[in-house]
Amino acid sequence: MSDVTIWTLDWVPEGPRGFVRDLRLRWACEEAGISYAVRTVAFDDRATNHLDQQPFGQVPFLQDGDIEIFESGAGVLHLAEKSETLMPRDAEDRANTRQWMFAALNSIEIVSVPWWFLRMSGRKDNELCGWVDSRLNQIEDVLSTREWLVADRFTAADLLMADVLRVADVRAHGNRPATEAYVARAIARPAFRKAEADQLAHFAAADAERTA
């Protein structure tokens, strides 16, 4: 019997593998030693086949007993509160961890994901480049002064921030050594490597079923 259940898609094409956001929940569970089962909704008709569970038709969502949570950020926060590994107990450190979790999503990802979307739409030079650039400069300044964001150790804030920066393709925006080293440090963690390998294996196994 697993502690929690992580819901994701049954299959995705090659491109998004290693980036589907169940990775954030897997990573959090691996860091915190929370056991989890993985269940799936179908990739086909994914926009409408699980709106009862996720009103935007996205994955992941998390089940913990009677509690169901969509939004990967809310899921990571829920998991983090179950384990001091991810969320310090000290009130100030806890507030800092939570503020940086919101910052990862609402100050960096709010710019980096739409920038990426425009780039994918064929607009490599787009109106969001300057904004991404300035946010990445600001986070570079922060990361130049510390190894991890809060309490001199890895927390859920780093989990979200490193994942957001990993996807933002930092190097595409110029030379930011502190940020690059930070992301490298985060994804070298055994918990990330396990989570990533398991996601890749999950989708690879589905290839066989899909072509069978």
Q: How many CB atoms lie within 10 A of CB 157?
A: 27
Candidate list 12, 105, 170, 191; residue touching a second copy; CB under 8 A: 105
Candidate list 24, 26, 50, 135; residue touching a second copy; CB under 8 A: 135
Q: What is the DSSP letter of 69?
A: E
Q: Which residues are within 8 A (CB) of 6 and not within 5 positions of it... i.e. 6 or more apart?
A: 22, 25, 26, 29, 36, 37, 38, 39, 60, 62
Binding mask 44-73 for a second copy (x = CB under 8 A): -------x---xxxx-------xxxxxx-x
Candidate list 86, 101, 161, 162; residue touching a second copy; CB under 8 A: 101
Of 48 and 211, the one with the shorter C-beta distance to a second copy is 48
Q: How many CB atoms lie within 10 A of CB 78?
A: 17
End-to-end CA gap in the chain: 30
Q: Using the rule CB under 8 A, is 19 a contact of a second copy?
A: no
Q: Residue 166: which of 192, 203, 201 has the closest Cα?
A: 192
Candidate list 84, 127, 147, 152; residue touching a second copy; CB under 8 A: 127
Q: Using the rule CB under 8 A, is 83 a contact of a second copy?
A: no
What token pair was written down for 20? 């589907």
Nearest approach in angstroms of CB 87 to a second copy is 13
Rounded to the nearest 5 percent, the helix, strand and coil shares of the chain are 55, 10, 35
The contact set with a second copy (CB under 8 A) reads 51, 55-58, 66-71, 73-74, 77-78, 91-92, 95-96, 98-99, 101-103, 105-107, 109-111, 113-115, 117-118, 121, 123, 127-128, 131, 135, 138-139, 141-142
